[in-house]
Structure 1
Amino acid sequence: MKISIAILNWNGKSWLEKFLPNVIENSQEADIFVIDNASNDDSVVYLKENFPNVSVIKNLENLGFAGGYNEGLKEVTNEIFCLLNSDVEVTENWLQPILDLFKQNKNIAAIQPKILDFNRKNYFEFAGAGGGLIDNLGFPYCRGRIFEELEEDKGQYNDETEIFWASGCAFFIRAEDFKKMNGFDERFFAHQEEIDLCWRLINDGKKIYYCGKSAVYHVGGGTLNKQSAQKTFLNIRNNLSMLLKNLPKKSLIWILPFRMVLDGFAGIYFGLKNGFSHFTAVLKAHFGFYKQFNGTLKKRGNFQTEKYYQTKWLIFKHFF
């Protein structure tokens, strides 16, 4: 079973300098590609001068995470794709446990490793932690991370288990499944496109897994930090679109309007906590969702599983 590691880059020369040698050293069994999203720094020149064995794929414009990978992966071969953020430090023998898991169960479409914080290596990291889950209202969370609260890694998630979504930070997927689903929804641009893809895979009868025998360390916020109003906009808009596309009909008719009401309270909270730009980002996200509504509705598949959530009313249990 052959694997290709694809690192999406946009003006990330400093991340490539810091982490690419580590990836190469610990990934001898993989072909390594860097997909460049029309960077205007000298990332591509740096790669060609310093890493001649790394294949560089150049997109003509910045297509975001979703479109950038969709376009770049057209030129990537092998049975397994590993979509790896440029701000990730990998560990020795990190690939083999994941490849073994793919070999054990052909119905597994996607896998993520344990994701720890590069700056606090004994804590889980926000983007994926010990495997992604979702509640009945469509709020994503992780084993090891609920909203902003992160757990210390004490070996509690060293298992291999089925999850709901795998993090785009270190996202392993069978090439045939990625192509069958037509990749990511490019309208998302960035954020939650991997959750949407995993949900579509589950609706198609596939499984998503977590492999705690493999670990990586993620810096996080390499392109958009957690305080970015643009990140707030993308997360709110994309989450609503994801719900419209994937929720079973009987859940959709009440969850979607209820979530939009909750978003109003969230906008006030974000505005008070992070500034007025975050309040307006929530408003813009709703208008962005309305703009895409008809197109999203057309993307609903023929089947939506009723068993999509792992807990109920997470936001109320956590905050109230």
Structure 2
Amino acid sequence: MKEAAIVILNFNGRQVLPTFLPSVISHSEFEIWIIDNASTDDSVEFLKETFPDVRLITLKSNFGYAGGYNWGLEQIRGHYEFFILLNSDVEVTQRWDSSLINWFEKNPDYAALQPKILSWQDRTTFDYAGAGGGFLDGLGYPYCRGRIWNTLESDHGQYDDEVQVDWASGACLAIRASDFFDQGGFDAHFFAHMEEIDLCWRLRVSGRKIGYLGSVTVFHQGGATLDRSSPRKLYLNIRNSLSMIYKNVSGFNFFGIILAKSGFELAAALGYLVKGEKEFALAIFRGYRDFWNRIGLLEKTIKKPEMEISTSGPVRLIFWNSLILRKRLFSQL
């Protein structure tokens, strides 16, 4: 069994592959695989002609981030001890991959790990996706060191440390293959968005830990597949957040959280309507509708009935701290 594989999921990435894939090839020690999620552009032809040494898996349908990785990684199951899942729009740095994998050898109780993720557009600023390590508040809302909602911090080396976190970003996620398959991989019902948070939550319920390694840096463009400000992304985040909480929180606590979340998100939907952004309001309502319609498909993860949201983060309610108390930096929480 080989030590690790770098695995990139591609869907219509012809525009970003020439920009980002060369850094992965030149700065990486391990084998590189690309899973193509039934792209309709000329991604596959471009890869075969321009990067013939990159190993390629082609899927017959677009299964989204979750299903695409599940199907693709199944094809190389048993060949690698670790996977490093990397977005197609990420620029890496020297020894990034070996540093992540070497860290696992010193920390056998950790299942997954992410590096420091900075913005590719502004390399002094943290990226939205993962930033300096992710946490959950008491209502299941994710936030990061270096990113609270849409407020991004500048990087001054304040998160160049190693810490235990609640979740690691799917933009650059190193994970033990055994842990990935033990949990059944990503939940394919999520399709895209928040599936890595759900997986990390399930790993933590099973007794495993999630880590952040700030001595390794990558740069993420973001929005290559789905723009961050799109109604589609909002819909997926709402639907999948509800699904994740349902799976991982006991019944009594689940309904209390849903009641609180629905109040916040109803207010957000009304705000969108007031601003004339009807499509965003509808995205919230559709997220709730489709969650309840598909609840029977979701497999409960909780191990005991009193299970609550387990978080190592500093706050119980990120909404209250950021929107009411106006604390926009992680150091203020």
Tell me the TM-score normalized by structure 2: 0.92
Aligned residue in 2 for 1:307: 310
Distance 2:308 2:176 in 1: 21
Aligned residue in 2 for 1:318: 322
Aligned residues between the structures: 318
Aligned residue in 2 for 1:34: 34
Aligned-pair CA distance for 1:302: 2.3
Aligned-pair CA distance for 1:97: 2.3
Aligned residue in 2 for 1:243: 245
Within-5 A mapping of 1:80-99: 80-99=82-101
C-alpha contact 2:82 2:174 (8 A) present in aligned 1: yes
Residues 199-254 of structure 1: CA deviation (Å, up to 9, x unaligned): 00000000000000110000010111112110010000000110111124453231
Report whether the alignment pairs 1:49 with 2:49. yes
Q: Specify the code of the residue in structure 1 equivalent to 2:4.
A: I
Within-5 A mapping of 1:1-320: 2-27=3-28, 29-76=29-76, 77-272=79-274, 275-296=277-298, 298-303=299-304, 304=307, 307-308=310-311, 310=313, 311-320=315-324
1:306–1:221 Cα change, 3 Å? closer
Aligned-pair CA distance for 1:135: 0.5
C-alpha contact 1:5 1:33 (8 A) present in aligned 2: yes
C-alpha contact 2:135 2:166 (8 A) present in aligned 1: yes
CA-based RMSD of the aligned residues comes to 1.4
Distance 1:199 1:307 in 2: 8
Q: Specify the code of the residue in structure 2 equivalent to 1:134.
A: L
Distance 1:138 1:11 in 2: 32
C-alpha contact 2:250 2:302 (8 A) present in aligned 1: no
1:140–1:306 Cα change, 3 Å? closer
Q: Secondary structure at the match of 1:167?
A: coil
1:273–1:135 Cα change, 3 Å? farther
Q: Specify the code of the residue in structure 2 equivalent to 1:142.
A: C
Distance 1:225 1:194 in 2: 18
Q: Secondary structure at the match of 2:211?
A: strand
Q: Secondary structure at the match of 1:208?
A: strand
Residues 116-145 of structure 1: CA deviation (Å, up to 9, x unaligned): 000110010000000000101111000000
1:41–1:232 Cα change, 3 Å? same
Distance 2:210 2:294 in 1: 27
Aligned-pair CA distance for 1:99: 1.4
Tell me the TM-score normalized by structure 1: 0.96
1:242–1:309 Cα change, 3 Å? farther
Distance 1:86 1:136 in 2: 32
Q: Specify the code of the residue in structure 2 equivalent to 1:16.
A: L
Aligned-pair CA distance for 1:100: 2.0
Residues 270-308 of structure 1: CA deviation (Å, up to 9, x unaligned): 445582100001110011100112222x43332446533
Residues 167-222 of structure 1: CA deviation (Å, up to 9, x unaligned): 00001100000000000010100000000000000000000000001100000101
Q: Specify the code of the residue in structure 2 equivalent to 1:159.
A: D
Aligned-pair CA distance for 1:265: 1.0
Q: Specify the code of the residue in structure 2 equivalent to 1:31.
A: E
